[in-house]
């Protein structure tokens, strides 16, 4: 059995959020969910330790995934080390580049990836890069 990984899923679309949560939990993830940037930041505080963040670009409210990443990767941020996987349908090159520049780990185009594919890939990436603290 794989190690339990704490994951924060930030996704505005409810059915997608549920599908992701369901799939992640089935794959031994402990899932926290948020639908906006503010909610996401609050969840981070509540959760204490989050191993990885699953992030969409467009979110509820005005702030987007980019803003959230920006905040997480701030110099004094407690979460700057937390790996972020962007899973979004807004896959224009400039946005992908913007995310990568801010230091996200990977960028998946939502509609082109299967959930299990991504989950496997995330686990492997975390293991390979030694990004899991525990």
Partner 1 sequence: MKNFSVKKKITLSILFTGLFIGSVVSASVFLYLREALISNQINLLSQVVIEQNHETEQTLANNLLFTKMLATRTKVQEYLEFQTESRRIELDEILKEYHKEDANFLAIYLLDEKGTALISTDSSFVNKDYSFRDYFKNAKTGKITATALWGVTSKQFGYYFSQPIYNQQGKFIGAMVIKTTGEDLTKQVLESELSKQNDIMLVDRYGIILSTNKQGRFLKSLGALTEQEQEEIKSSKRFGDNAIDPLQYNEIQEAVRNYADYRIISIYDQEDSDQEYFFIYRLAGEDLFLVVEAGLENLLVMFSFTLWMVTGLIAVMVLLMSIMVYWLLFKFLKPLYLLREAANQIGQGDFSYKIKTVNDDEFGDLAKSFNLMNGQLKDLYSGMDKKIKDRTKDLNEKNKNLDKQQEAVLNILEDVAVEKKKAESLADDLEKFRLAVDNSSEQIVITDKEGLVLYGNKAMQTITGYSTKEVLGTKAGKLWRLPMPKQYYENFWDTIKNKKQPFIGVIQNKRKNGEEYDAAISVYPIMNSDNEIVYFVAIERDVTKEKQVDRAKTEFVSLASHQLRTPLSTVNWYVEMLLSGDAGELNEEQKKYLAEVYQGNQRMVDLVNSLLNVSRIELGKLAIKPEFLNIAELAQSAVAEQQPQIMQKEHKLITNFVKDAPKLMADPKLLRMVFQNLLSNAIKYTPPKGRIEMKVEYKTKQKAFVITVADNGIGIPTEQCNRIFTKMFRADNVKEADTEGTGLGLYIIKSIIEGSGGSITFQSVENEGTKFTATLPLEGMKEVKGDKSLI
3-state secondary structure of 79: coil
116 or 124: CB nearest partner 1: 116
CA separation, residue 79 to residues 1, 27, 53, 101 (Å): 27, 24, 10, 17
- The stretch near partner 1 (CB under 8 A) out of 20-28, 31-39, 66-74, 78-86 is 20-28
What angle do helix axes 37-47 and 65-72 make, rounded to 10 degrees? 40
Cβ atoms of 9 and 39 closer than 8 Å: no
Q: Which position among 42, 67, 92, 132 is part of the footprint of partner 1 (CB under 8 A)?
A: 92
- If binding is defined by CB under 8 A, does position 13 make contact with partner 1? yes
- If binding is defined by CB under 8 A, does position 86 make contact with partner 1? no
- If binding is defined by CB under 8 A, does position 22 make contact with partner 1? yes
- If binding is defined by CB under 8 A, does position 88 make contact with partner 1? yes
Cβ atoms of 63 and 55 closer than 8 Å: no
Q: Quick one: which H or E segment has residue 131?
A: none
- The stretch near partner 1 (CB under 8 A) out of 13-21, 32-40, 45-53, 70-78 is 13-21
- If binding is defined by CB under 8 A, does position 111 make contact with partner 1? yes
- If binding is defined by CB under 8 A, does position 89 make contact with partner 1? yes
Cα 14 to chain centroid distance, Å, stands at 15
Q: Which residues bind partner 1 (CB under 8 A)?
A: 13, 15-16, 19-20, 22-23, 26, 57-58, 88-95, 109-112, 114-116
């Amino acid at each position: 059995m794989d190690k339990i990984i704490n994951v924060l899923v930030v996704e505005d679309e409810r059915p997608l959020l549920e599908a992701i949560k369901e799939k992640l939990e089935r794959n031994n993830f402990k899932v926290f969910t948020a639908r906006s940037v503010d909610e996401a930041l609050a969840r981070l505080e509540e959760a204490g330790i989050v191993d990885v963040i699953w992030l969409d670009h467009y979110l509820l409210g005005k702030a987007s995934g980019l803003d959230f990443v920006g905040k997480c990767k701030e110099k004094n941020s407690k979460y700057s080390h937390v790996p972020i996987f962007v899973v979004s349908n807004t896959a224009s090159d400039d946005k992908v580049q913007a995310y990568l520049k801010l230091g996200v780990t990977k960028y998946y185009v939502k509609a082109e990836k299967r959930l299990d594919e991504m989950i496997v890939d995330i686990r492997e990436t975390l293991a390979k890069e030694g990004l899991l603290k525990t």
